[in-house]
Structure 1
Amino acid sequence: MKHLLLLFPVLLPCIYAILYGWLRFKGDKHREVFIGTAIIGNLLLVIFTLQSSPLPSLHLFRLDQFVDVYFHVDKMGILFSLLASTLWIFTMFFSMEYMTHEKNTKRFFSFFILNLGIIIGIAFSGNLFTMYIFYELLTLATYPLVIHAETEDALYSGKKYLIYSFFGATFILLGMILLYSVTNDLSFAANGIIGKLENYNETILLAAYFVMFIGFGVKAALVPFHSWLPSAMVAPTPVSALLHAVAVVKSGIFAIIRVSYFIFGADILGGMKGHLWINMMVIFTIVLGSLMALHQENLKKRLAYSTISQLGYVLLGIVLLNKNALIGGLFHLINHAVIKITLFFIVGAIYFTTGKKSIHEIKGIGREMPITMLCFSIASISLIGIPPTNGFASKWFLALGGIAENKIFFVVILLFSAFLTAGYLLPIVVTAFFQGEERALEEKKEPPLKILIPIVTLTGVIVLLGLFPNIVLQFIRSIVGEII
């Protein structure tokens, strides 16, 4: 019975999503209680499921070694599921107020709840086939959120999102077939499954790894397969926040970690030099994302290109194939998620309160919205990586990983990108606080509490992770210790 509990955090949001679309609520309070029960209740359900010892696993449906719907919880799945479930709660409170100015809110919240179950399905997948199923369901379930506005731009962006995603899916499927032809197994295991084989065709395995990295890299916004992400900024801010913080891009990163360390393994990849094929693409992603962000006047698009660059940091931590680098990559996965969702919330709060979207429009807005823009400043400093912030801690481990591989060039790239990050974030802070005319005290207008409280709380989390990084680092070290 306890193994069946594994399905509840996956299926319950799906049931709630269907019920939400079907039920008629007497008022906003009833609607919000229903949504809160679905999202917060699911986090509690995830925590309850993770309390099982040993951690549960379940073969739901099995045709052969390839077609096997298998769920299994491990530490990597715990990290991702808790991150997603927690950030979904913050987004829920933010959305309840923000979406009052949008249409089709019933459809929005139905898919908002549904996607949480799909993300948990990705986190709890025990093999590549199961993860692939949920990964593609995520594409279909996030599409209505991307096209929510139903404008010409939104429909075009949605079409672009589907084209890129299905392109990536084709590569993933090809890689799975190539992999299966050698291993006859797609299960996830610490240190990978390749090392257990007596003989294997290295050329086929290299091809499989490369095409799967590209396939999953599409959702991870790997350059040159990144352009869907800035285009998707036509979606409402809560959608943008989820796309950039956890729902889509982090699913791509999570999948690449699974393939690299739970299918191939660090030793096998290092021996085949499989990671070296990817290094230059990752470096290009870090630098190009930052350079493109410098030229964006629209606040959301500037943050979108920033996401592309910052995801490159996490990918760098993966492909360096050493403990410090992977610790830095996993910690930056968490740090970036918290920081970027905060920044998007703030940009959304500015638009919700003032209707302003561009940098030149927010001159002096720091005097109108001092709490909001103070939070923006703290999050920006953290993303740049100025000590003693959480962003510094993760980038420090990434630098140590580069030094361990005698690749000082990577450390230089990290420093260069940090300067570029300062170049596209600090001007926003300067514009907000030090430009524009003085405003009267009565003109100050912070956003409503349902928007402001998530922003302030997440900013507190950013500060906490900077001052006490070991809260998360100890768990990350235990994950890395098992797979390298």
Structure 2
Amino acid sequence: MEKVLLVLPLMIPIFSALLITNNRLIKESQITKVVAVTVVLNAILALFSIYINPITHLHILKVNNFLDLYLRIDQLSRLFTLLASFLWVLTAFYAFGYMKSKPRLRQFYLFFTLTLGIVLGIAFSGNLFTLYVYYELLTLSTLPLVMYNGTEQALSSGKKYIIYSFSGATLILFGMMLLYSVTGTMAFSPRGILTYVDSADHSILLLSYIVMFLGFGVKAALVPFHSWLPTAMVAPTPVSALLHAVAVVKSGVFSLIRMTYFIFGATAVRALDAPKYLMPFVVLTIIMGSFLALHQEHLKKRLAYSTISQLGYMLLGILMLNPNGLSGAMLHMINHALIKITLFFIVGAITLKTEKKYIHQIDGLGKQMPISMLCFAIAAISLVGIPPTNGFVSKWYLGLGAMNGNNLGYIFILLLSAFLTAGYLLPIVVTAFFKNNQSNEGNSREVNPHDAEGQIKTVSLDPGKAMLVPIMGLTILIVILGLFPNPVISFLNGIIVDAF
């Protein structure tokens, strides 16, 4: 029974997706109810599996030490499971409001639900082979979501996404074979499986680490493998939010943490001197993403390039190879997920309610959508790293990690990127609240016939509760985690103990 409970969070979304495909059993009007029950029930079962179930590891199918489908739960698994399950519930309810008038809802929710089970499979993976299998399934399940609109642009974006993803997968597989030729195992282990690096194996292990880092870096939008991410913005906003918050890019970051600290180990990576070869890519990702975001007028594309830069922060923390750096990377994985999904939810609400997609079109929008734009302002401030928001906490730990490693140049990079982040996000807030577009204002006002003086009354364009409640809840959480970060930091300390 305990073994069944371990795999239920992975199987229920798949079973639910199969139900959704049956239009006789599940009518169109019932799809959202099925999805709501699935994501909520699955979140509860995931919590039960990772905290209460006594079984924490399970071999599903083992051919040899390489071909081994193996599930294992540790503190890092718990972190990613909690993050994915929580954000999936919020995104589902947001999608109910956003997608209700869209076509092909059955197709959308089929892959939306299926992807949840696959992401949890990544979280539960006990070795590199299992992680690789779920990682590839993630590409296949998210591809139809990227191409959902069916336009020429969507199909082109999907083609680019799958080419980049499969290219990264090829690098990962090559690195896995090199690693296995030396170690004979790929099971995740605290502090890694390499207790030392033999000089005869140095070149093979270094090549293995570098190609796998670049391979997993594709989904983490590592420059120069980043360009698939902005083009994927053609997808509906709930998909964009998941791509940027947890489903794809954070799966890449999670996999890099697994590989670095639970396969190779910090000691071995340091002995290989691998960061020397990879840090230029990471620094370029942080700076280039920020500069490219500055030049985007399209709201979603500006957020997409912002994501590239912010992912660089996480990769920087991973390669620092010290406890504070890794804490900063994991904190930013959590905090960026909450911030960025909030920003995408708001931009989606703007597009849905006003059909505006560009920054120059939102003059005075703060008067029409006061709650949404206030939440946007708070999330933007947090991404810059201004206290008392959660973005400040993760960047503080990244700064501490840079100081621990005597890499003051990284602090300069973090500060420069923070200024650039302010440069591409705060103008959106200023435009919405402090610029007054007469045509916009005219469209948002109507005469109240019950007002004897004929005063003009502003009509709110904030979205309905299905979309607004997740936005407000996430914004409140952004502030709470900035004011009270210690519970999260204490949780992460369990991962730090395993890693070092």
TM-score of Structure 1 vs Structure 2, range by shorter chain: over 0.9
Q: Partners of 1:27 and 1:154 in 2: how far apart?
A: 24
Aligned pair 1:381/2:388, yes or no?
no
* 1:322-341 matches, cutoff 5 A: 322-341=322-341
What is the DSSP-based 3-state SS (H/G/I as helix, E as strand, rest coil) of the residue aligned with 2:59?
strand
* 1:135-154 matches, cutoff 5 A: 135-154=135-154
TM-score normalised according to structure 1 size: 0.98
CA contact (8 A) 2:197 2:268 kept: no
- CA, structure 1 residues 265+26, in 2 after alignment: closer, same or farther (shift >3 Å)? closer
CA contact (8 A) 2:196 2:268 kept: no
User: What amino acid sits opposite 2:107 in the alignment?
Assistant: R
Select between 314-323 and 188-197 the one with higher mean Cα deviation. 188-197
Q: Partners of 1:294 and 1:110 in 2: how far apart?
A: 36
Q: Partners of 1:297 and 1:372 in 2: how far apart?
A: 20
- TM superposition shift of 1:4: 2.9
Aligned to 1:62: 62
Of the three residues 467, 471, 480, the one matched with 1:464 is 480
- TM superposition shift of 1:3: 2.5
Aligned pair 1:451/2:471, yes or no?
no
- TM superposition shift of 1:31: 2.7
Aligned to 2:264: 264
Aligned pair 1:226/2:226, yes or no?
yes
Q: Partners of 1:73 and 1:478 in 2: how far apart?
A: 13
- TM superposition shift of 1:459: 0.4
- CA, structure 1 residues 167+97, in 2 after alignment: closer, same or farther (shift >3 Å)? same
Of the three residues 485, 489, 499, the one matched with 1:473 is 489
Q: Partners of 1:105 and 1:177 in 2: how far apart?
A: 41
What is the DSSP-based 3-state SS (H/G/I as helix, E as strand, rest coil) of the residue aligned with 2:458?
helix
Aligned to 1:171: 171
Q: Give CA deviations for 1:27-49 in whole Å, capped at 9, x if unaligned.
A: 63x33221111110000000111
- TM superposition shift of 1:6: 1.2
Q: Give CA deviations for 1:188-224 in whole Å, capped at 9, x if unaligned.
A: 0010001178786011000000000000000000000
Q: Partners of 2:495 and 2:200 in 1: how far apart?
A: 27
Q: Partners of 1:357 and 1:44 in 2: how far apart?
A: 37
- CA, structure 1 residues 412+197, in 2 after alignment: closer, same or farther (shift >3 Å)? closer
Aligned pair 1:482/2:498, yes or no?
yes
User: What amino acid sits opposite 1:353 in the alignment?
Assistant: K
CA contact (8 A) 2:6 2:53 kept: no
What is the DSSP-based 3-state SS (H/G/I as helix, E as strand, rest coil) of the residue aligned with 1:195?
coil
Q: Partners of 1:480 and 1:23 in 2: how far apart?
A: 48
- CA, structure 1 residues 281+55, in 2 after alignment: closer, same or farther (shift >3 Å)? farther
User: What amino acid sits opposite 1:470 in the alignment?
Assistant: N
Select between 438-447 and 86-95 the one with higher mean Cα deviation. 438-447
Aligned pair 1:363/2:363, yes or no?
yes
Q: Partners of 2:217 and 2:198 in 1: how far apart?
A: 30
Q: Structure 2: which 5+ residue stretches go unaligned?
A: 446-456
- TM superposition shift of 1:277: 1.2
- CA, structure 1 residues 9+53, in 2 after alignment: closer, same or farther (shift >3 Å)? closer
Aligned pair 1:244/2:229, yes or no?
no
CA contact (8 A) 2:5 2:53 kept: no
Aligned to 1:187: 187
Aligned to 2:208: 208
Aligned to 1:43: 43
- TM superposition shift of 1:271: 1.4
Aligned to 2:344: 344
What is the DSSP-based 3-state SS (H/G/I as helix, E as strand, rest coil) of the residue aligned with 1:100?
coil
CA contact (8 A) 1:55 1:74 kept: no
Q: Structure 1: which 5+ residue stretches go unaligned?
A: none
Q: Partners of 1:198 and 1:285 in 2: how far apart?
A: 32
What is the DSSP-based 3-state SS (H/G/I as helix, E as strand, rest coil) of the residue aligned with 1:224?
coil
Aligned to 1:131: 131
Aligned to 1:10: 10
User: What amino acid sits opposite 2:82 in the alignment?
Assistant: L
User: What amino acid sits opposite 2:315 in the alignment?
Assistant: L
CA contact (8 A) 1:2 1:56 kept: no
CA contact (8 A) 1:346 1:372 kept: yes
Q: Partners of 1:376 and 1:262 in 2: how far apart?
A: 37
CA contact (8 A) 1:182 1:200 kept: no
Q: Partners of 2:490 and 2:53 in 1: how far apart?
A: 20
Report the aligned-residue RMSD: 1.3
What is the DSSP-based 3-state SS (H/G/I as helix, E as strand, rest coil) of the residue aligned with 1:401?
helix
Q: Partners of 1:400 and 1:446 in 2: how far apart?
A: 40
User: What amino acid sits opposite 1:208 in the alignment?
Assistant: S
Size of the alignment, in residue pairs? 483
